[in-house]
């Protein structure tokens, strides 16, 4: 990491204080990402993008000013600070404006290694070879995989430096590598596409290109011949990717600002039982090697493990400092941001804790039902809790996956869906910063023919 960026953050805070700010905070972000895409054995594009910038937040007489720049020229820093203060002077006062308190900034910030030199030094040749291997493996898996919409590999390297007048001071750097494949399978006049992907902070933890290509192809080929089914109510199983999407909707309902505004169906339910005891949903900013792991959040508050639902009981909502003040509570260390943005509520590593049942057993227990592998549409209405999404997948007959199904809608109410979770798999899977195992709902409405 570059100590000059840490020094820059501290200098900006000191300058803002000297020029009249009651509080000041500087957030510096440096990043680099490179990737390769291939098509039909040839390189389609090879890209590399770098970014750097600093955001400055100042509070003066309860008025808030925020500004950002990617110009680190020292001669312009005084003007940059003055502009932030001018913006504050033009803003309306709000007694809730302010940075995290010194007490909120205290805590353990040791989260383990997040940076992999192997990822940071990946060569273009490695990425080209990995992408070509995925494409080759996918086509070799089944002759009906004729082409790929997209297939690629890449990495991201970044660092963050933060300083504030209230005592926040810290830096960290992180990496991740990624592989993705989007094949197209064809049979007669029908085309089916699917995808598979992996993101990991450390190269040694990343799935092999062959495994990604083959799994993507398997998921596309098994959908050939898909058709609608009749509308009915049946047990519905979400594979881990779709279960993770459902868990993301739970976090959306647990957004503290939405709860405060009473625009979340979770608002009146804190402390109430909303799911079976087997259901525990956690946001953990300290998960080992997690893509969302960081020593502190976007305001310098140490990250932590926050159970949203614990053994079926709604235990917590997520807050940054401003929304916590509105709700007269404490921040949960969930301020998310880039240098261009003010802090807002976000998640770190969000997941549903796994159960003990193998996914094969969960399927085997269903006589007639639907196994969902892909979904379309926005999903849940956070105000009402209504859930409705287009879905594709496989029908379950007598405990076995059978015919492919497409163009149906899965619908229910989030609270009823939570209560109706009657099986949780042992296969907790992360393909990003949100993870889940296989889950089964005792009954949902399928709208088809």
CATH code at 194? 3.30.2290.10
pLDDT in tens, 180-189: 999 999 999 8
In this structure, the answer to whether residues 98 and 22 fall within a common structural domain is yes
Domain boundary (65, 80, 105) is at 105
In this structure, the answer to whether residues 257 and 399 fall within a common structural domain is yes
Q: Can you give the three-state secondary structure of 70-94, one letter per residue? A: CCCCHHHHHHHHHHHHHHHHHCCCC
| The pLDDT value given to residue 2 | 72
Domain boundary (64, 82, 105) is at 105
Q: Between the CA of residue 325 and those of 94, 333, 377, what are the distances in Å?
A: 11, 13, 34
Closest alpha carbon to 352 in 272, 282, 297, 431: 282
pLDDT in tens, 267-316: 999 999 999 999 999 999 999 999 999 999 999 999 999 999 999 999 99
In this structure, the answer to whether residues 262 and 207 fall within a common structural domain is no
Instruction: Classify residue 425 by its DSSP letter.
Output: B
In this structure, the answer to whether residues 345 and 436 fall within a common structural domain is yes
Tokens of 310: 């614990």
pLDDT in tens, 113-148: 999 999 999 999 999 999 999 999 999 999 999 999
- DSSP per residue over 12-24, as a string? HHHHHHHTT-SEE
In this structure, the answer to whether residues 446 and 368 fall within a common structural domain is yes
The answer to whether 363 and 373 are in contact (CB under 8 A) is: no
Inside any domain, residue 68: yes
Residues 6+ away with beta carbon under 8 Å from 212: 134, 137, 179, 180, 181, 196, 197, 198
In this structure, the answer to whether residues 211 and 318 fall within a common structural domain is no
For 151, the domain range is: 117-158+173-221
Residues 6+ away with beta carbon under 8 Å from 141: 213, 214, 217, 218, 221
Inside any domain, residue 351: yes
Per-residue pLDDT, averaged over 426-439, amounts to 97
In this structure, the answer to whether residues 182 and 267 fall within a common structural domain is no
In this structure, the answer to whether residues 130 and 73 fall within a common structural domain is no
In this structure, the answer to whether residues 204 and 241 fall within a common structural domain is no
Tokens of 250: 């739970």
Residue whose pair of structure tokens reads 């085309």 in the numeric block: 191
Inside any domain, residue 128: yes
Inside any domain, residue 166: no
Total of domains in the chain: 3
236's enclosing H/E stretch is strand 232-238
Decide if pLDDT at 1 tops 80. Answer: no
Inside any domain, residue 168: no
In this structure, the answer to whether residues 254 and 396 fall within a common structural domain is yes
Closest alpha carbon to 278 in 385, 445, 437, 413: 437
Per-residue pLDDT, averaged over 430-446, amounts to 97
């Amino acid at each position: 990491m570059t100590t000059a960026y840490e020094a820059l953050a501290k200098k900006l805070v000191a300058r803002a204080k000297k020029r009249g700010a009651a509080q000041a905070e500087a957030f510096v972000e440096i990043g680099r990402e490179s990737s390769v895409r291939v098509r039909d054995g040839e390189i389609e594009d090879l890209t590399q993008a770098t970014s750097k910038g600093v955001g400055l937040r100042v509070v003066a007489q309860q008025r808030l000013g925020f500004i950002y720049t990617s110009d680190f020229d020292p001669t312009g820093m005084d003007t940059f600070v003055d502009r932030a203060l001018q913006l504050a002077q033009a803003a309306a006062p709000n007694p809730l404006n302010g940075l995290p308190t010194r007490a909120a900034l205290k805590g353990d910030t040791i989260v383990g290694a997040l940076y992999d030199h192997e990822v940071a030094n990946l060569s273009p040749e490695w990425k080209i070879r990995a992408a070509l291997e995925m494409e080759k493996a996918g086509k070799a898996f089944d002759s009906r995989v004729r082409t790929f919409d997209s297939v690629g590999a890449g990495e991201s390297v970044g660092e963050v430096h933060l300083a504030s007048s209230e005592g926040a001071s810290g830096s960290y750097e992180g990496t991740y590598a990624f592989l993705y494949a989007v094949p197209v399978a064809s049979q007669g006049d029908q085309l089916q596409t699917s995808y598979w992907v992996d993101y990991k902070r450390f190269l040694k933890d990343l799935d092999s290109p062959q495994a990604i290509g083959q799994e993507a192809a398997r998921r596309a080929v098994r959908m050939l011949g898909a058709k609608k089914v009749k509308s009915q109510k049946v047990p519905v199983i979400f594979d881990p990717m779709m279960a993770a999407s459902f868990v993301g909707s739970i976090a959306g309902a647990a957004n503290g600002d939405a709860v405060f505004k009473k625009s979340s169906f979770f608002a009146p339910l804190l402390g109430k039982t909303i799911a079976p005891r087997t259901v525990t949903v956690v946001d953990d900013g300290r998960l080992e090697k997690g893509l969302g792991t960081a020593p502190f959040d976007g305001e310098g508050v140490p990250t932590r493990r926050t159970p949203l639902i614990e053994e079926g009981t709604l235990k917590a909502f997520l807050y940054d400092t401003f929304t916590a003040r509105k709700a007269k509570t404490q921040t949960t260390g969930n301020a998310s941001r880039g240098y261009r943005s003010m802090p807002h509520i976000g998640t770190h590593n969000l997941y549903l804790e796994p159960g003990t049942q193998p996914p094969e057993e969960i399927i085997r227990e269903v006589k007639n039902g639907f196994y969902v592998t892909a979904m379309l549409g926005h999903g849940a209405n956070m105000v009402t809790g209504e859930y409705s999404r287009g879905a594709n997948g496989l029908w379950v007959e007598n405990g076995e996956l059978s015919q492919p199904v497409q163009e149906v809608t899965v619908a229910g109410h989030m609270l009823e869906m939570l209560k109706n979770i009657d099986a949780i798999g042992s296969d907790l899977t992360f393909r990003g910063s949100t993870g889940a195992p296989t889950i089964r709902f005792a009954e949902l409405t399928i709208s088809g023919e």
